[in-house]
Amino acid sequence: MRQWRSDIASMGGGGGCILWPLLTVALIGGCCVVSPMLFDRFSSPAPTIGRDGDAGLEPEEAVREYLRATIEEDAAPAAMLTCESPQLGVVEQWWRDLAAREDAFPGVRFDVDVDTQSGRIEGERATASADVVVTARDGGQESRMDLTIVFTLSDEQGWKVCGATLS
């Protein structure tokens, strides 16, 4: 390394003493400019293509992402996927009941599996359903609860979950 430095410093008739500070400033400046650009590029999710080629989620995808956010207790994405005044008491009550069971039985492992299907799209309204399977495991014993939730959605610059009923 020392030999390399002295070789560069001796280039150009001894002007190498100015080369290092300029190289350092260029490197730091480049990192300060490129790092935020790379962060923005690789940290934002890629848009999905929805109906009519618009960026956005299909109704069943919006339901799946809403349920994923609800199960992971991630309020921000869940809020972004719901319409202005959603009627989702069924989902909220189901989730509270499941959380209460988890608290009541700390040794039991609860797994939630969600499978969504598209329903009908009629203009700016749509339906989609979700088959939810909750499996409770305690040692060698296993119990299962199946639930189907039918969601109504509205196209508000992308599909938003507006209501839910048990089926």
Q: What is the CATH number of domain 56-166?
A: 3.10.450.50
pLDDT tens digits, 128-141:
999 999 999 998 89
At 140 the pLDDT is 85
Region of residue 151 (left: phi > 0; alpha: psi -120 to 50; beta: else): beta
Domain ranges of the chain: 2-43, 56-166
pLDDT tens digits, 89-130:
998 898 899 889 999 998 999 999 999 998 999 999 999 999
At 67 the pLDDT is 93
Strand order of the sheet with strand 82-87?
Answer: 82-87, 159-166, 141-155, 125-138, 109-122
At 34 the pLDDT is 40
